[in-house]
Chains A and B, each alone.
Chain A
């Protein structure tokens, strides 16, 4: 029990902080922060599996998040029939051709001996395949994008509930991670970081510019939520009654009938947004708990011990007959899949998909800061890191504003220096997170909640 004391203390402080935001600012903001904290926690679990368990640096988190988002779009949006008619066939043919090409190359790699001729053959197949696919898909893409470009202009999705996309997002990310892992995992640590970062950038730029698939920078809005909508809630009687009951004491104090109705309306509007966010938080929390249980089980299983052995001494683990390459690939795929799930969850939470917003700063580096700050190799630590860093990231601006006002209170309102500082309060989040990372790296390199390994004594 003693070893959990720190963890419980840290989490209680975190919950208190979020509650204090609820009291000081508003409950709606507090719940928004909580939801993002939970999503970040899923991402950090994914990153922590790779970095903490196996020592693999994956700076491509952004790419897998975007893939999860794409999954949400492809699962949830209704199919666009006209677009399918305009060019669906050609796109399917192109897809089949690409799969055939990859299969062919795979076959050549397996059957033919390594030689210059083989390389030329592969290059030839790639070039011809590229040209043929462009020839077939080019006009089709134009046709698809011409179908009502203001509203659709893409093939649409399956029209299924968005919850399914969480699994699909994971699968998407896992599939791409398999390819990326095959390419990049042989590289040394810092090369791997750069390579994954750049590959993620390629993934995002494909999602951003292939309008027929994802609408690109035109964004997809109005994805259906798995929880009720505020407007519907505000018109349902049970919800209004519930709010009335909840606030009955406050409402009794008001005598005038119309005023009472007015306040009740306000309360209902507030409560509906809180209720919706609570529902989402419940869903996210379920995912976090399931993942936490699974990852904890994995960490203390023989497999987890094997991963740690590989992380701490690759050569020795290899000598003991552990297949390092295979295990690295496996853990790379698993971690990326979890990040993909988080990406789908994030789009679910927002209800919209904006490929332009996937930037390495927010979706790779901040997540990494979370893992490092929280505690590498410790799932509780990683989740805590997600909470702490996201909280700082969001609340940095208000905190900075408070301090700026405090320290410049002797200056006049019109002072240009003060005005400039207040204007740039939002950027103090970078400063806060950066300095936080540097301090943790220096004085507590294992993170807030360090990894604990129980070694049984004989």
Chain B
């Protein structure tokens, strides 16, 4: 019994939140990696692009709510995602046409493109703040919990409760579906293969008749989907605040690099590596040990490796360690 309690405790406070957070990071990390692999630059506007897509979803949610449209027990925001994705893709293509394409055609060094993306970051941030303001917005509605702690306790008779928020379930499910479709697309379809070829060796790909414009267009479309869905899922789970999205760019970068930048599967796993590390290292294990250890060994302190203030610092330290020992990431980077 004690042992099951301990497992449930860990499941409730570390594993499920880490899976959720990891999924959100993974979507962002795949976005970073795709842009890096195919368009060949580190996109510093990542966080703000996600924020932009989410903003459209938030505004549409409020509009739908005012019309009285709802999605039953699911959050209304899920209904708005397709529209938000379309808006996001148009915004990305607009930026690409007027900003990035010039440097791509000129074959500027990646550093210059990264600096340009900093400019895009500023502009996007300004647009977001002018339209929706910098405030915290909650746009979650519908059923909040799938499983409540009290219900779980009654059902099983355990001391520890297990809570599953509906946002957590939605996040994990949507991520699995989206990522599987994406991998199927990249590995099995002709377009996906042409994208991988373009990423591997641009000159050879061009030589064999792959249309670079098409590849770029599709990359932005996939990127728009990933950014919007990742952003909306994060916003549903926590709340929507532009500044937080900008900050999320950092662990997302960490996830992409840890997984091996340019490698979507690596980025996907990198998201979970970062999320699990952040949560497992900053979790206080006192209660866990009181369950599994005999009485005389029970710890008095919190048994916390680092305080939760250092959540971000943990993921960045992992990045530094990975960069030191395996600069190409856990999975070899730069293949798509």
**Chain A residues with CB below 8 A from B261, complex form:** 191
* A194 lies within 8 A of chain B by Cβ: yes
* Contact yes or no, A206 B112, CB < 8 A: no
Q: How far is the CA of A184 from the CA of B327 in the complex (A)?
A: 10
* B114 lies within 8 A of chain A by Cβ: yes
Q: Mark A208-232, 1 if CB is under 8 A from B, else 0.
A: 1100000000000000000000000
**Chain B residues with CB below 8 A from A198, complex form:** 250, 253-254, 316, 319-320
* Contact yes or no, A199 B316, CB < 8 A: yes
**Chain B residues with CB below 8 A from A114, complex form:** none
Q: Mark A163-193, 1 if CB is under 8 A from B, else 0.
A: 0000000000000000000011011011101
* Contact yes or no, A190 B111, CB < 8 A: yes
Q: How far is the CA of A195 from the CA of B250 in the complex (A)?
A: 10
Q: How far is the CA of A208 from the CA of B312 in the complex (A)?
A: 12
* Contact yes or no, B313 A206, CB < 8 A: yes
* A197 lies within 8 A of chain B by Cβ: yes
Binds B, one of A29-37, A329-337, A343-351, A365-373: A365-373
* B310 lies within 8 A of chain A by Cβ: yes
Q: How far is the CA of A435 from the CA of B316 in the complex (A)?
A: 30
**Chain A residues with CB below 8 A from B116, complex form:** 438, 441
* Contact yes or no, B120 A183, CB < 8 A: no
| Of B110, B122, B129, B327, most A-chain CB atoms within 10 Å | B122
**Chain B residues with CB below 8 A from A129, complex form:** none
* Smallest beta-carbon distance B131→chain A, Å: 8
* Contact yes or no, B111 A430, CB < 8 A: no
8 A Cβ contacts from A353-370 to B? 360-361, 365, 368-369
* Contact yes or no, B320 A195, CB < 8 A: yes
* Contact yes or no, A427 B129, CB < 8 A: yes
Q: Decide yes or no: A194 and B309 within 8 Å by CB, A189-B110, A201-B316, A434-B122 being known contacts.
A: no
* Contact yes or no, B111 A57, CB < 8 A: yes
* Smallest beta-carbon distance A109→chain B, Å: 12
Closest to A197 in B: B250
* Smallest beta-carbon distance A159→chain B, Å: 29
Q: Which of A189, A194, A206 contacts B257 (CB 8 A)?
A: A194
**Chain B residues with CB below 8 A from A138, complex form:** 301
* Contact yes or no, B123 A435, CB < 8 A: yes
**Chain A residues with CB below 8 A from B164, complex form:** none
* Smallest beta-carbon distance B100→chain A, Å: 10
* Contact yes or no, A372 B313, CB < 8 A: no
Q: Decide yes or no: A434 and B317 within 8 Å by CB, A194-B257, A198-B250 being known contacts.
A: no
- Mostly helix, strand, loop or mixed at chain A's interface? helix
* B82 lies within 8 A of chain A by Cβ: no
* Contact yes or no, A193 B313, CB < 8 A: no
**Chain B residues with CB below 8 A from A442, complex form:** 102
**Chain A residues with CB below 8 A from B324, complex form:** 183
Tally of chain A residues near chain B (CB < 8 A): 43
* Contact yes or no, A424 B323, CB < 8 A: no
* Contact yes or no, B122 A365, CB < 8 A: yes
* B169 lies within 8 A of chain A by Cβ: no
8 A Cβ contacts from B82-131 to A? 99, 102, 109-112, 114-116, 118-127, 129-130
Q: How far is the CA of A79 from the CA of B301 in the complex (A)?
A: 30
* Contact yes or no, A184 B323, CB < 8 A: yes
* Contact yes or no, B118 A368, CB < 8 A: yes
* Contact yes or no, B118 A437, CB < 8 A: yes
Closest to B131 in A: A424
Q: Which of A194, A201, A365, A428 contacts B312 (CB 8 A)?
A: A201
* Contact yes or no, B323 A369, CB < 8 A: no
**Chain A residues with CB below 8 A from B320, complex form:** 183-184, 195, 198-199, 202
* Contact yes or no, A434 B130, CB < 8 A: no
* B19 lies within 8 A of chain A by Cβ: no
**Chain B residues with CB below 8 A from A429, complex form:** 126
* Contact yes or no, A191 B122, CB < 8 A: no
Closest to A426 in B: B129
Closest to A421 in B: B130
Q: Which of A183, A199, A431 contacts B122 (CB 8 A)?
A: A431
8 A Cβ contacts from A419-454 to B? 421, 423-424, 427-431, 433-435, 437-438, 441-442, 445
**Chain A residues with CB below 8 A from B115, complex form:** 368, 372, 437, 441
Q: How far is the CA of A434 from the CA of B324 in the complex (A)?
A: 33
* B133 lies within 8 A of chain A by Cβ: yes
* A265 lies within 8 A of chain B by Cβ: no
Closest to A210 in B: B309
* Contact yes or no, A190 B102, CB < 8 A: no
Q: How far is the CA of A441 from the CA of B112 in the complex (A)?
A: 8
Q: Mark B129-143, 1 if CB is under 8 A from A, else 0.
A: 110011000000000
Q: How far is the CA of A431 from the CA of B119 in the complex (A)?
A: 9
* Contact yes or no, A438 B130, CB < 8 A: no
* Contact yes or no, B130 A428, CB < 8 A: yes
* A295 lies within 8 A of chain B by Cβ: no
**Chain B residues with CB below 8 A from A423, complex form:** 133
**Chain A residues with CB below 8 A from B301, complex form:** 138
* A205 lies within 8 A of chain B by Cβ: yes
Q: How far is the CA of A190 from the CA of B109 in the complex (A)?
A: 10
Closest to A138 in B: B301
* Contact yes or no, A193 B129, CB < 8 A: no
Q: Decide yes or no: A202 and B313 within 8 Å by CB, A430-B129, A438-B116 being known contacts.
A: yes
* B246 lies within 8 A of chain A by Cβ: yes
In the complex, 23 of the A-B residue pairs with CB atoms within 8 angstroms, ordered by the A residue number, are A184-B323, A187-B323, A194-B42, A195-B320, A198-B250, A201-B250, A202-B317, A360-B250, A361-B125, A369-B122, A423-B133, A424-B129, A424-B130, A424-B133, A427-B126, A430-B122, A430-B129, A431-B126, A434-B123, A435-B122, A435-B123, A437-B118, A438-B116
Name the 7 nearest CB pairs between A and B, nearest first.
A434-B122, A430-B126, A431-B126, A434-B123, A427-B129, A437-B119, A209-B309
Name A residues whose Cβ lies closer than 8 Å to a Cβ of B. 57, 138, 183-184, 186-187, 189-191, 193-195, 197-199, 201-202, 205-206, 208-209, 360-361, 365, 368-369, 372, 421, 423-424, 427-431, 433-435, 437-438, 441-442, 445
Name B residues whose Cβ lies closer than 8 Å to a Cβ of A. 41-42, 44, 99, 102, 109-112, 114-116, 118-127, 129-130, 133-134, 246, 250, 253-254, 257, 261, 301, 307, 309-310, 312-313, 316-317, 319-320, 323-324, 327
